Chain A
Amino acid sequence: MYIQSLKINGYKKFKDFTIDFSPHINVLIGENEAGKSTILEAIDIVLNQKTFISPNASFEQYFNQEIVQEYKFQPSIKNLPKIEIELFFNDEKDIRSEYFNGLHSSFSPTMKTGIKFTYKFDESHHELLDVLYEGNYDETFIPLDYYIAEWNTFAGRKYINKNSPLKNVLIDNSIRKNNLFDSYSRRIYINKLAPPDRQNLSHQFRKNVQHFVNSNTEKLNLQDYSFGIDEGKTVLENLLDLKSEGVSIQNKGKGKENLIKTEIALEVKSDLILLEEPENHLSYLNTRKLIKDIQNKCDGAQIIITTHDPLIVSRLDLRNTIWICNRRYYSLKNIPLETAEYFMKTDNMQLLNYILAQRVILVEGNSEYILLPQLTINTFNYTLEKHVVELLSGGGITYKHYIELSKIVKNRLLVITDNDGDQETINSISETNKENSNVLIKCSPDINEFTFEVCLFNSNQSKLQTISEKKPGTTAEYRKKALNQNLAYMLKNKTEAALRISEEDDYKTHVLLPQYIQEGIEWLIQK
């Protein structure tokens, strides 16, 4: 059994949000605060009855703020904020799934298999509250004392985590909360040992504690009283600590601790592994080791990972990525295999930036990468940052892989490329441009302008008349063709020329973008 989807209503960031998962690996990415961790939390709340099980705690902070505002604007019992989280499982023809299957979900009258968590006003207090509303009651106050948390299966039966259909473990390596350690040790213990063994160990433990008390009665004796052991504190499960070579893994340094925790989790047979930012505190090499472990050991388990690490995203197959943005999700599962493999092989460190950016310029070479920010200011009087444009270097002909990505993440992509002096290239680019409204490929329409430097020189001839003086010996030819000496210099020393134009006062604020790039940027920054 695995989690097919999760529906969140009114919890934290999510007013109404649904996300689908694949049965194997799911890599959640997104900006900070996009809600990645909230998704793992929500699963934990439903499946393991976390957080809301403790009485007397205030849960006001968990409500979706939009819903709270709506209530405050129009306070009534009907409008009281509530939280609903539904966890949907795949359908299995197994009698044990029956306990989860029925119409008690938001999909009624369609049969679904799963669990629903609700945190809401307890209707049995209805009358009491009616009275309150009539009096001088502060209506914008949420009567949390009359709220109840309920877990029901879609069959309408009470759910308790003892009946969890998925053996699961949550490893939270995020910087924010790191004191979940003992509960982690406990979960591993529960997953690893069968109930009879746990009972036996617990029994032995208590017997030994009792033995200790019995054999020290005299010393533990006071006049009218005697010391005993607090049974609530001597619960074996609460005292467990994971050790590696005799040292508590809490004392092994964050990176090591993280690695060990994840390794152990992967070794224990779980149906579901929830990993929160596994890359934290890990070096590049250790992150790679961790990824290998995940790939080799997960063995049929469903894994849901949140990450900020492009290495994890690309190595665990881009098609497993789910991008969370603006309270929506975009699955990259339909990315072509070729594209996924391309990113997997290249350890592309800018991949995550690419997906998370709303507007991207992808350039072919270093020169464009160096010059574009400055020339944009010179040409348009604004910066690329102002329009939240991410400038990335695509390294050659690989832009088609990025286009595949953009088709799914729907960001606005401008590709700046060369026509290589080939009319066919120009034609095929204009064909490709017709296919996607969010992607524009720009090259010079003139086959004589076969590369960026030529275009740049042609549009800024007067300003670049002396650039070759740095290397007076430069011959006025390129690839055995006669050329202006300055242009020849730029072509033969591409990076040097670009750096000089971006730095030297003669050029820095004077050189403008070639026409085709100007057109491209104007298209890109449109609303």
Chain B
Amino acid sequence: MAHSKIMLAVAGSGKTHYIANHLNPSANNLVITYTRQNVDNLKKELKKVNGELPKNTHVLTFSSFLYRWILKPFEPILTIGNKTAFITSGVEIIKSPEPLSILGKPNPRYMKKDDYRHYLYFEKYYVSRMSELILAQSKEVLKKMFERLKHFCDHLYFDELQDFMGKDFDLLNHFISEPDLDVFAVGDFHQHSVSKSDFTASKPYLKKGKAYLSKDEYKLLFKGKAHIDESTLIKSRRVPVKICTFISSKLGIYIESASLIQGHYELLEDEQKIIHTLEDTDTVKLFYNNSALYTCSPTINWGYSKGDTYKKGCIILTKTFDSLFDENFSCTHLSPAQVNPLYVAMTRSTHELFFIKEKDFRKFKTKYAGS
């Protein structure tokens, strides 16, 4: 029956570590993740565990996987809009396709699905429409694609499960439902809508209806198709005890710590302390966006810090979260797209985490803003 397994994890619980340690190095494995950086992380971890990258284990990004494994080998029988047997020359990574509408108004440059230009930019695939193109193929073609996949691959691993949205999610669900295909997918539900990826479909999990799902609603999407494991990776090995407690109470996202470190978090309001921390090169400064503009290195955007581990971090809050330390702070009125990036930023530090309010940082903005 259901061979597939979904593992819901918390930040820093060792998803990469788990995959590297549970993968059978003598089998044919395919490990797929969203970002290139994570491909490197996975390879590094696999090398650590096995001495070298197992020769029958391939680690690649989701877009490479779709192109190399699913689309390219079948081009002679693919239907791309109004074209068949068209041989492409690769994947377009810069241009994105014209959307159906812009700011609620119909986009005259949008290409319909029956036009190959819906999927292709000249001779290349739009990265964000590859899943849609695959799902638009006939049953026979899809069957061949899955057969080939099963022929060469015994185990299929997906990391960053929460990043699969829209058509990517539908396609992932196809893989999970496929009999005889052994899929293992792991992700942190609360890190979804945090963009760091090559491409993230800016679409909800479901075709219509609510833009965001609760965790329980999310779980329902896999019902009967895969076994859901919520207990193995429940504890964060990275995030220390005190910070976990703080996150759980403030963001309403439950996270437990497996760390031996108690940890320390603090809101900095004293000017001297703020300057000292901003100028400390051992502390990573996490900005909501445009982190590259600031000279107080090292800096990074909240979203881009996904997957990273720092000893000390300092979060520069946004107006939305200036009241984070207020006793009656609640984020029930906020969307996951607002909360999740902060959750990501807050789960990076192994020891210390500092916060600076937006209104306090503003005083130093010019000082640290590069030209």
Using known A-B contacts A95-B30, A111-B148, determine if residue A104 contacts B153 with beta carbons closer than 8 Å.
Answer: no
Using known A-B contacts A155-B72, A156-B72, determine if residue A95 contacts B153 with beta carbons closer than 8 Å.
Answer: yes
Q: Chain A residues with Cβ under 8 A from B152's Cβ?
A: 93-95, 97-98, 101
CA distance A93 to B152 in the complex (A): 5
Determine whether A108 belongs to the interface, using a CB cutoff of 8 Å to chain B: yes
The answer to whether A104 and B29 touch across the interface, beta carbons within 8 angstroms, is no
CA distance A154 to B151 in the complex (A): 16
A-B contact pairs, 15 of them (CB 8 A): A93-B28, A93-B152, A94-B28, A94-B152, A95-B28, A98-B148, A98-B152, A101-B152, A103-B76, A103-B77, A104-B73, A104-B76, A108-B77, A109-B77, A111-B73
For residue B88, which residue of chain A has the nearest CB?
A156
- Please name the 4 residue pairs, one residue from A and one from B, whose CB atoms are nearest each other, closest first: A102-B73, A95-B28, A156-B72, A98-B152
Determine whether A527 belongs to the interface, using a CB cutoff of 8 Å to chain B: no
Determine whether A176 belongs to the interface, using a CB cutoff of 8 Å to chain B: no
The answer to whether B151 and A156 touch across the interface, beta carbons within 8 angstroms, is no
State which residues 145-164 of B face A: CB under 8 Å: 148, 151-153
CA distance A104 to B74 in the complex (A): 8
Using known A-B contacts A156-B87, A157-B68, determine if residue A108 contacts B76 with beta carbons closer than 8 Å.
Answer: yes
Q: Chain A residues with Cβ under 8 A from B72's Cβ?
A: 102, 155-157
- By secondary structure, the B interface counts as helix
State which residues 38-86 of B face A: CB under 8 Å: 55-58, 68-69, 72-77
Determine whether A96 belongs to the interface, using a CB cutoff of 8 Å to chain B: yes
Determine whether B113 belongs to the interface, using a CB cutoff of 8 Å to chain A: no
The answer to whether A103 and B75 touch across the interface, beta carbons within 8 angstroms, is yes
Using known A-B contacts A101-B148, A111-B144, A155-B68, determine if residue A95 contacts B75 with beta carbons closer than 8 Å.
Answer: no
Rounded to whole Å, the gap between the CB of B63 and the closest CB of chain A is 15
CA distance A430 to B289 in the complex (A): 96
Using known A-B contacts A101-B148, A101-B152, A157-B68, determine if residue A94 contacts B73 with beta carbons closer than 8 Å.
Answer: no
> Interface digits, A86-119 against B, CB 8 Å rule (1 contact, 0 not)?
0000000111111001111000110100000000
For residue B78, which residue of chain A has the nearest CB?
A103
Q: Chain A residues with Cβ under 8 A from B151's Cβ?
A: 93, 101
Residues of A in contact with B (beta carbons under 8 Å apart): 93-98, 101-104, 108-109, 111, 154-157
CA distance A154 to B58 in the complex (A): 19
CA distance A296 to B30 in the complex (A): 39
Q: Chain A residues with Cβ under 8 A from B144's Cβ?
A: 111
Q: Chain A residues with Cβ under 8 A from B57's Cβ?
A: 95
The answer to whether B56 and A96 touch across the interface, beta carbons within 8 angstroms, is yes
CA distance A101 to B151 in the complex (A): 10
For residue A105, which residue of chain B has the nearest CB?
B76
Q: Chain B residues with Cβ under 8 A from A96's Cβ?
A: 55-56
Query: Knowing that A101-B151, A111-B73 are A-B contacts, what are 11 other residue pairs whose CB atoms are under 8 Å apart, sorted by A's residue number?
Result: A95-B57, A98-B153, A101-B148, A102-B72, A102-B73, A104-B76, A109-B77, A111-B144, A154-B73, A155-B68, A155-B72
State which residues 10-29 of B face A: CB under 8 Å: 28-29
Q: Chain A residues with Cβ under 8 A from B77's Cβ?
A: 103, 108-109
State which residues 122-168 of B face A: CB under 8 Å: 144, 148, 151-153
Q: Chain B residues with Cβ under 8 A from A94's Cβ?
A: 28, 56, 152
CA distance A93 to B151 in the complex (A): 6
The answer to whether B58 and A95 touch across the interface, beta carbons within 8 angstroms, is yes
For residue B27, which residue of chain A has the nearest CB?
A95
The answer to whether B76 and A109 touch across the interface, beta carbons within 8 angstroms, is yes
CA distance A109 to B69 in the complex (A): 16
The answer to whether A102 and B74 touch across the interface, beta carbons within 8 angstroms, is yes
Rounded to whole Å, the gap between the CB of B147 and the closest CB of chain A is 9
Q: Chain A residues with Cβ under 8 A from B29's Cβ?
A: 95
CA distance A102 to B78 in the complex (A): 12
For residue A156, which residue of chain B has the nearest CB?
B72
For residue B56, which residue of chain A has the nearest CB?
A95
CA distance A111 to B146 in the complex (A): 13
The answer to whether A156 and B73 touch across the interface, beta carbons within 8 angstroms, is yes
Of A94, A154, A155, A156, the most chain B CB neighbours within 10 A belong to: A156
CA distance A94 to B69 in the complex (A): 14
Q: Chain A residues with Cβ under 8 A from B76's Cβ?
A: 103-104, 108-109
For residue A108, which residue of chain B has the nearest CB?
B76
For residue A109, which residue of chain B has the nearest CB?
B77
